[in-house]
Structure 1
Amino acid sequence: MIVFPNAKINIGLHITERRPDGYHNLETVFYPLMIKDALEVIESKELNFQSSGIPIPGNSSGNLCLKAYHLIKRDFDIPPVSIHLHKHIPIGAGLGGGSADAAFFLKLMNETFNLSLNEDDMMNYVRQLGADCAFFIKNKPVYALEKGDRFEPVKLDLSAYHIVLVMPSVHVSTAEAYGGIKPAAPQVSVRELIQQPINEWKHTITNDFEKHIFEAYPVIRLIKEALYNAGALYASMSGSGASVFGIFNEMPDLSVLEADNQVFYNL
């Protein structure tokens, strides 16, 4: 069986405080984005994992799909499976691609082997794998808080707009991104700010990572400026970067960006 894990973007992102466990509390809005990987799982004589498409750095034994398999294997007598992941969602982009793969893998295993897990059960499993993994179980716009793994529903529908994503050829590590942050509670929550007209977001909704990431990687700042120059109603870095998205009324011409960056249109 094959599923197609999709990405997400962050609309607004505030790091509110450092936690005693070394993580950070935050607030943001997660919104599904239709860049997709392809994930196939077939019952097999032995557990194995292979990937194609965008090269995945590191040892494949650390892939979140395999970690999800071992996690549910503790509680269920599931057989070995062969996993094939075709990677299309950019890596190191702030799009949650690896988290999506893990969540969709768990949903697929639940369906294939009749594990009878409900959505809350699956969310509790994948929370153990990463802060934003649980979002992809329901895969609907949410206001996320705490570590980014607790959610409240929000009414947000961007289907009438064109979303464009630009991925530069740079990689921003999570450690580097958080290293430049000074946590502070926002004066107004992102949950309230997204209720404003989208053309107001430019002046009110911010991503705390942008200031120091833009200083370290000016190309990311230039991409955001190019999106606004092309007519974006709102543009922002997603998560801790390095991707930048723009929301448009009309499909823009971004050919000037295509020589040095990946550009994904009409998402």
Structure 2
Amino acid sequence: MLVFPNAKINIGLNIVEKRADGFHNIQSCFYPVQWTDALEITAAPVFSFESNGISIPGNGQDNLCAKAYQLLTQDFDLPPVKLNLLKSIPIGAGLGGGSSDAAFTLKALNQHFGLDIPVEKQVNYARRLGSDCAFFILNKPAYCFAKGDEFESIDLSLAGKWIVLANPGIHISSAEAYAGVQAKQSALDLRTLLSKPVVDWKHHVKNDFEATLFNKYTLLQDIKAELYNLGAEYASMSGSGSTLYAIFDQEKNLKTNFPKFSVWQGYMR
């Protein structure tokens, strides 16, 4: 079985408070984009996980895909499989690639073995793997809150818009990103702001991580400025970085503008 876990972007990201458990509550819109990894599941005599493409740090058995399989084996008598991941979505890039891989593993195993796990239960499994994982079960635009693992539907469609994502290869861990932010309640409701035309987002829809990370990594600020210079209706850092994205009203080929970066571009759905 072959599936293609996709990335997401954050449109707006407000860090509203630090929780007693050490995590932070956020408010953001998660929106899927079609920059994808590829995950193949095949029968095997013993369970194994392998990856190709972008190198993934750490022990393969600690990968979220492997953890997703092991999580389901606690409740289902699954036969052993081989998980083979072709990693294309940059790591530590604010795109949720690892979370998507985990969620798609859950969904693929559910379908492949006919487990008939209801969607809400799949969401609950995903929450146990990581804060962003639950979003990728439904994989639709959503207003996300709490740790990023609670969400509501949002009336937002960017279908037909052109998006460019540029990643300069700077790995930013969540711990590094959160170390520099001051949690605060937002004065404006993000859902109200996102109901306005995209061209109006520039001055009001913010990512709270940008303030400190742009000071530390000035290249990120330069990329955002260049995306606006190239005609973006809206540009922002996604998640805790280091990917910058830009939304355009018409197709733009910007790969030659960022020759040393990982760039993905395409129409939004």
How far the C-alpha of 1:170 sits from its partner, in A, is: 1.2
Residue 204 of structure 2 is aligned to residue 204 of structure 1:
yes
SS at 1:77 equivalent: coil
How far the C-alpha of 1:255 sits from its partner, in A, is: 4.9
How far the C-alpha of 1:239 sits from its partner, in A, is: 0.2
Taking the aligned partners of 2:118 and 2:153, their CA distance within structure 1 comes to: 18
How far the C-alpha of 1:118 sits from its partner, in A, is: 1.0
How far the C-alpha of 1:189 sits from its partner, in A, is: 1.8
Taking the aligned partners of 1:216 and 1:256, their CA distance within structure 2 comes to: 26
Taking the aligned partners of 1:74 and 1:184, their CA distance within structure 2 comes to: 39
8 Å Cα contact 1:230-1:253 kept in structure 2? no
The letter of the residue matching 1:2 is L
Taking the aligned partners of 2:5 and 2:135, their CA distance within structure 1 comes to: 12
8 Å Cα contact 2:253-2:265 kept in structure 1? no
Could you say if the C-alpha distance between residues 222 and 27 of structure 1 is closer, same or farther in structure 2, counting changes exceeding 3 Å?
same
* Cross-structure match for 2:12: 12
How far the C-alpha of 1:256 sits from its partner, in A, is: 5.4
Which residues in structure 2 correspond to 1:173-184 (within 5 Å)?
A: 173-184=173-184
The letter of the residue matching 2:234 is Y
8 Å Cα contact 1:231-1:252 kept in structure 2? no
The letter of the residue matching 1:108 is A
Residue 238 of structure 2 is aligned to residue 249 of structure 1:
no
Taking the aligned partners of 2:256 and 2:33, their CA distance within structure 1 comes to: 23
Taking the aligned partners of 1:55 and 1:255, their CA distance within structure 2 comes to: 22
8 Å Cα contact 1:257-1:263 kept in structure 2? no
* Cross-structure match for 2:113: 113
* Cross-structure match for 2:101: 101
Cα-to-partner distance string for 1:104-124 (whole Å, 9 max, x where unaligned) = 000011011111101101000
Cα-to-partner distance string for 1:127-158 (whole Å, 9 max, x where unaligned) = 00100100000000000000000011001111
* Cross-structure match for 1:32: 32
SS at 2:105 equivalent: helix
Q: Displaced runs of 4+ in structure 1, greater than 4 A?
A: none
SS at 2:57 equivalent: coil
Cα-to-partner distance string for 1:214-233 (whole Å, 9 max, x where unaligned) = 00000111000000000000
Unaligned runs of 5+ in 2: none
Taking the aligned partners of 2:137 and 2:195, their CA distance within structure 1 comes to: 24
Taking the aligned partners of 1:177 and 1:226, their CA distance within structure 2 comes to: 23
8 Å Cα contact 2:119-2:137 kept in structure 1? yes
Residue 186 of structure 2 is aligned to residue 186 of structure 1:
yes
* Cross-structure match for 1:232: 232
8 Å Cα contact 2:165-2:264 kept in structure 1? yes
SS at 2:203 equivalent: helix
* Cross-structure match for 1:91: 91
Unaligned runs of 5+ in 1: none
Q: CA RMSD in A?
A: 1.0
SS at 1:10 equivalent: strand
* Cross-structure match for 2:261: 261
8 Å Cα contact 2:13-2:28 kept in structure 1? yes
8 Å Cα contact 1:131-1:147 kept in structure 2? yes
SS at 1:264 equivalent: strand
Cα-to-partner distance string for 1:86-120 (whole Å, 9 max, x where unaligned) = 01111111000000000000001101111110110
How far the C-alpha of 1:205 sits from its partner, in A, is: 0.2
* Cross-structure match for 2:160: 160
* TM norm structure 1: 0.98
Taking the aligned partners of 1:255 and 1:265, their CA distance within structure 2 comes to: 8
Residue 139 of structure 2 is aligned to residue 139 of structure 1:
yes
